[in-house]
């Protein structure tokens, strides 16, 4: 089970809160296996501008004993901002994990190549 802490969600409608919780569980469970004991902290700010539109600012932090990651995105559409934030987090985690795993893979490859 994913350990997620949500910031203030008072600004969001009930539909947006349900959508946020559903997508957070789905997307964060995909990258949870990279960490030992992660805590995902999700903050959503809705900035009301003049008129009917609102700007959504979504930030995700991953607190792990070894690694720390952050991702954020702003957009006028709630769904777009949410999906882009999860994509940014997934890309940064995948990039960091591939970068750390490269020397080990090279050593293993050299051992098999010699035989």
User: What CATH number does residue 76 fall under?
Assistant: 3.30.160.100
| Helix/strand/coil for 3 | coil
pLDDT at position 98 over 80 = no
For residue 74, the cross-strand partners are 57
Spatial distance between the Cα atoms of 99 and 60, rounded to a whole number of angstroms: 21
Spatial distance between the Cα atoms of 72 and 84, rounded to a whole number of angstroms: 8
Neighbours of 8 (CB within 10 A): 10
CB 68 within 8 A of CB 38: no
State the DSSP code for 1.
Answer: -
Q: Which residue has the tokens 């999860």?
A: 86
The domain of 47 spans 4-114
- Total domains in the chain come to 1
What average pLDDT does the segment 102-108 reach? 50
1-60: pLDDT as tens digits: 778 889 888 888 899 899 999 999 988 888 888 888 889 999 999 887 777 888 999 999
């Amino acid at each position: 089970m994913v350990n997620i802490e949500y910031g203030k969600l008072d600004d969001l409608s009930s539909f947006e809160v349900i959508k946020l919780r559903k997508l957070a569980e789905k997307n964060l469970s995909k990258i949870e296996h990279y960490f030992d004991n992660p805590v995902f902290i999700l903050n959503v700010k809705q900035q009301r501008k003049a008129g009917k539109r609102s700007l959504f600012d979504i930030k995700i932090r991953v607190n792990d004993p070894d690694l720390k990651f952050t991702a954020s995105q702003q957009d006028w559409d709630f769904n777009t901002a949410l999906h882009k934030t999860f994509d940014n987090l997934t890309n940064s985690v995948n990039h960091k994990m591939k970068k750390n795993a490269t020397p080990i893979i090279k050593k293993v490859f050299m051992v098999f190549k010699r035989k």
